[in-house]
Structure 1
Amino acid sequence: MTDTAELTPQQCLVALMIAVSASDENMRTSELVTIQRIVNHLPVFRDFDQESIGEISHLVFTLFEAEDGLDQLFALMRDRLPEKLNETAYALACDVAAADGAIEGPEARILEEIRYELDIGRLHAAAIERGTRARHMTV
């Protein structure tokens, strides 16, 4: 996978999750486990080639090294991700951000950017975020 034009919608979802995890420059085990769990269990990844995760990670890291890398990532999402998956993408991004127990700093900022770039309305975003909080509560 050398050409971003070849990315599948599933690979775009994985790229976005990896970007959220890497946004604070500390990819925690809990975030990586969450990504793997999501890929293993959600229907949207039914026919996904898990062997491509390494290549997708490399693509995200390469984009993050570029001055306008985040803009390139969002352009890729807009070009390759069907609009019907925008809320799914945001929900997955929220789950990865919440995996370590706190959404703050760079993770909060990238989620805000994702909401804007994928045109997630305030009410829908709030509902997705509330669902994320409910799933990640501890006793």
Structure 2
Amino acid sequence: MSKTISTHHALIYVMVTTAGVQGDIGDRELKAIGRIVKQLPIFRAFDADKLTHVAQECGEILQDKEGLEAVFGLAAEALTPKLRETAYALAVEIAASDLAVGKEELRFLAMLRDHLGLDKLVTAAIERGAIARYQTE
């Protein structure tokens, strides 16, 4: 059984979807996605010049009435259990990048956790790590 999207695409789709949950994607979120793709080892084999194209693909999927469910399904299918944790960590990173995590983002993260079948303790630890990284006082 072949995957319909690559691991890289799945991770980028999760980040882009997280960034767009509140209706628009801000500069901090865009910069965070770019930084993550350039720096994390999981993206070593990914051509960063294709990031914009992959983000646009995700945006096209999200335009459909069932787009969010489609992104969740594609990501779950493409990612191994460990990389599902990575996807959640990247989503939290993008949500926290603008220093304000709103209700929509929290709701999205809960939906992502459930669709990826992640343990609540694991996701709580990931969230706590992000809080520590982005704390200002």
**TM-score in terms of structure 2 length:** 0.93
Question: How far apart are residue 117 of structure 1 and its match?
Answer: 0.6
Structure 1 vs Structure 2: percent identity of aligned residues? 35
- Output one character per residue of 1:36-69: Cα deviation in whole Å (capped at 9) or x when no partner: 1111111111111112212211122112211111
Aligned residues: 135
**Whole-Å separation in 2 of the counterparts to 1:52 and 1:12:** 14
Secondary structure at the aligned position of 1:48 is classed as coil
Residues in 2 aligned to 1:35 and 1:112: alpha-carbon distance in whole angstroms: 20
CA contact (8 A) 2:89 2:126 kept: yes
Superposition map of 1:119-138 within 5 A: 119-138=117-136
After TM superposition, the score normalised by the length of structure 1 is: 0.91
Give the whole-Å Cα distance in 2 for the aligned partners of 1:82 and 1:88.
10
Cα deviation for residue 135 of structure 1 reads: 0.8
Instruction: Tell me if structure 2 keeps the 8 A contact 1:24–1:105.
Output: no
What stretches of structure 1 move > 4 A for 4+ residues in a row?
A: none
Pairing of 1:38-117 with structure 2 (within 5 A): 38-117=36-115
The 10-residue stretch of structure 1 (95-104 or 75-84) with the greater mean CA deviation from structure 2:
75-84
- CA offset at residue 105 of structure 1? 2.4
Answer yes or no: is the 8 Å Cα contact 2:76–2:84 preserved in 1. Answer: no
Which residue matches 2:17?
19
Distance 1:14 1:52 in 2: 11
Task: In structure 1, give the amino acid aligned to 2:69.
Answer: D
Structure 2: which 5+ runs fail to align? none
Q: Structure 1: which 5+ runs fail to align?
A: none
